[in-house]
């Protein structure tokens, strides 16, 4: 087969097909391969691919032979063992300088391992986060490529061409070496978990405390989407709440079981935060909230034994809705602050040259957490490239300070009425703890020294000390 393709792709599930079509639409010839040949043939002969520069390949060898050197091949396969399996099949067919791109949601530690192994073999490996789901893959995702600068120089122009555009700027930058791309994508997903949970808790308070109808809530979220809360998730929440089930005539959201699934990236984000010692409680609470939601039969049984909350609201509903808006915005800022602090810690730990301000800009389009205030995050890092936490930036500090009264009223009302709001509470506690010059850890240090002689620091002089506590 004559080498004619600009890039190759392995794995023609929906994401792979849509990404291949996106690449072809932008004038790049792409060679495609799928483990099941019939799937590849069906795709190449489909109405969507017909007439486009898509080259179908029956074997992996055909795929490699069809691509111009240095070759670049995107893997769009399930994370984990399938990625290693495809790499093992490709390696004997590739030459020094060729590039393998992992476009799935791989764990960054796996990406670092694969990068070391392939670098030793003279190959480049690019762990690349691709956000936006099927629609993003087809029409313009946010793309977070890791790997060497040399590999990005080859693949970057294609990724920039197919990515989402905001104000004419591509939502794609080189994130950093080895696992940086996948780490940032995973952190994006962790923020997404928190954002979704915060919105869901506000929705729950509207429904269960204020007694608002789905139609009323839809209107509220639509109005919020015209202001500082403008974002993709707020937009689709308004749309969801406005839709009606054709079979029952009920609001669609009322016929959906309150049990949310997850694919693991939120857990990875939380585990990375624990590993790096970065407090990200709102992200972790969002993960735990999904796990709790999965206990549906157990929760139904527990309600019968423990009794359900009987909330009663007696205040001004319109004023409380305004409080909910301010509480949601302040909490979202905390969730983003936690995510960016985590990226900064990983950058320091692994020596990545990730530009946090530019990361915020590529999340403005093509991804799930795209939001109006991402521009403000870029401005925050422009003002202070060494910014430790978004809460310290004047713009975000002012928003949180302005909204904290509403935030406390919302959390207080939820707790008083027995309504669970774990993400809202954790975000507020994070804010209060972060701004506290003295916390409770002095007692914890004393306890650790008491039972384990772990030593402690003193407030009046440097060094580590131990006390024989049992002597009094």
Residue 185 annotated as catalytic: yes
Dist. CA 414–CA 408, nearest whole Å:
10
Is the alpha carbon torsion for 249, 218, 336, 317 positive or negative? negative
Dist. CA 7–CA 33, nearest whole Å:
12
What's the mean pLDDT in 344-373? Answer: 93
Dist. CA 122–CA 120, nearest whole Å:
5
Question: Over 80: is that where the pLDDT of 356 sits?
Answer: yes
Q: What are the structural domains, with CATH classification, of the chain?
A: 7-178 (3.40.50.720), 185-434 (1.10.1040.10), 441-471 (1.20.5.320)
What percent of the chain clears pLDDT 90, i.e. is strictly above it? Answer: 94
Dist. CA 359–CA 142, nearest whole Å:
10
Dist. CA 39–CA 58, nearest whole Å:
10
> Rounded mean pLDDT of the chain?
96
Tokens for 147, please give them. 């790997």
Q: Name beta bridge partners: 169.
A: 166
Question: Over 80: is that where the pLDDT of 91 sits?
Answer: yes
Q: What is the pLDDT of residues 422-455, one digit of tens each?
A: 999 999 999 999 999 999 999 999 999 999 999 9
Dist. CA 206–CA 186, nearest whole Å:
30
> Catalytic residue among 48, 85, 96, 185, which?
185
Question: Over 70: is that where the pLDDT of 459 sits?
Answer: yes
Angle of helix 81-90 relative to helix 108-120, nearest 10 degrees, comes to 10
Question: Over 80: is that where the pLDDT of 416 sits?
Answer: yes
Q: Nearest 5°: phi and psi at 364? A: -75, -20
The closest of 380, 360, 382 to 371, measured between CA atoms, is 360
CB 177 within 8 A of CB 210: no
pLDDT score for 2: 66
310: Cβ contacts below 8 Å, ≥ 6 apart: 418
Residue 192 annotated as catalytic: yes
pLDDT score for 1: 58
Strands 99-102 and 72-75: parallel
Give all strands of the β-sheet with 72-75 in edge-to-edge order. Answer: 54-56, 30-33, 7-10, 72-75, 99-102, 124-131, 142-145
Is the alpha carbon torsion for 358, 360, 362, 365 positive or negative? negative
Is the alpha carbon torsion for 95, 97, 101, 102 positive or negative? positive
What's the mean pLDDT in 239-257? Answer: 96
Angle of helix 265-276 relative to helix 281-293, nearest 10 degrees, comes to 140
Q: What is the pLDDT of residues 112-123, one digit of tens each?
A: 999 999 999 999
Residue 114: count of CB within 10 angstroms of its CB: 21
Dist. CA 81–CA 87, nearest whole Å:
10
The pTM is what?
A: 0.94
350: Cβ contacts below 8 Å, ≥ 6 apart: 112, 176, 177, 178, 179, 180
What's the mean pLDDT in 226-233? Answer: 94
What's the mean pLDDT in 165-178? Answer: 96
């Amino acid at each position: 087969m004559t080498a004619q393709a600009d890039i190759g792709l392995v794995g023609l599930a929906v994401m792979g097909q849509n990404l291949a079509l996106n690449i072809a639409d932008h004038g790049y010839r792409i060679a495609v391969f799928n483990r099941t040949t019939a799937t590849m043939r069906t795709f190449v002969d489909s109405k969507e691919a017909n007439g486009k520069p898509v080259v179908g390949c029956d074997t992996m060898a055909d795929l490699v032979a069809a691509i111009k050197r240095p070759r670049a091949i995107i893997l769009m396969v399930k994370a984990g063992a399938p990625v290693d399996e495809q790499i093992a099949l490709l390696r004997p067919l590739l030459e020094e300088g060729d590039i393998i791109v992992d476009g799935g949601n791989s764990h960054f530690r796996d990406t670092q391992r694969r990068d070391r192994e392939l670098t030793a073999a003279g190959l480049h490996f690019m762990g690349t986060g691709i956000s936006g789901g099927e629609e993003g893959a087809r029409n313009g995702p946010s793309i977070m490529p890791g790997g060497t600068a040399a590999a990005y120089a080859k693949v970057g122009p294609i990724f920039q061409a197919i990515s989402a555009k905001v104000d004419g700027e591509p939502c794609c930058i080189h994130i950093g070496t080895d696992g940086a791309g996948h780490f940032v994508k995973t952190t994006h997903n962790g923020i997404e978990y928190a954002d979704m949970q915060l919105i869901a808790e506000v929705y729950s308070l509207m429904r269960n405390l204020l007694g608002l109808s789905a139609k009323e809530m839809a209107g509220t979220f639509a109005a919020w989407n015209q202001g500082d809360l403008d974002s993709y998730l707020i937009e689709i929440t308004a749309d969801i709440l406005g839709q009606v089930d054709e079979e029952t005539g009920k609001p669609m959201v009322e016929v959906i079981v309150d049990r949310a699934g997850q694919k693991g990236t939120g857990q990875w984000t939380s585990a990375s935060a624990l590993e790096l010692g970065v407090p990200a409680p709102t992200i972790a609470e969002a993960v735990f909230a999904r796990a709790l939601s999965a206990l549906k039969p157990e929760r139904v049984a527990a309600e019968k034994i423990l009794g359900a909350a009987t909330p009663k609201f007696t205040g001004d509903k319109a004023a409380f809705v305004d409080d909910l808006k301010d509480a949601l915005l302040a909490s979202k800022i905390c969730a983003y602050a936690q995510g960016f602090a985590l990226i900064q810690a990983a950058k320091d730990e692994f020596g990545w040259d990730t530009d946090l301000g530019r990361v915020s800009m590529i999340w403005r389009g093509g991804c799930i957490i795209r939001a109006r205030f991402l521009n403000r995050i870029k401005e925050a890092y422009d003002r202070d490239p060494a910014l430790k936490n978004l809460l310290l930036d004047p713009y975000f500090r002012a928003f949180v300070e302005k909204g904290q009264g509403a935030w406390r009223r919302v959390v207080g009302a939820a707790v008083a009425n027995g309504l669970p709001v774990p993400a809202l509470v954790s975000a507020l506690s994070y804010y209060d703890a972060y701004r506290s010059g003295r916390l409770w850890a002095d007692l914890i240090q004393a306890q650790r020294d008491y039972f384990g002689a772990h030593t402690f620091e003193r407030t009046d002089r440097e060094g580590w000390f131990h006390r024989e506590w049992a002597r009094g």
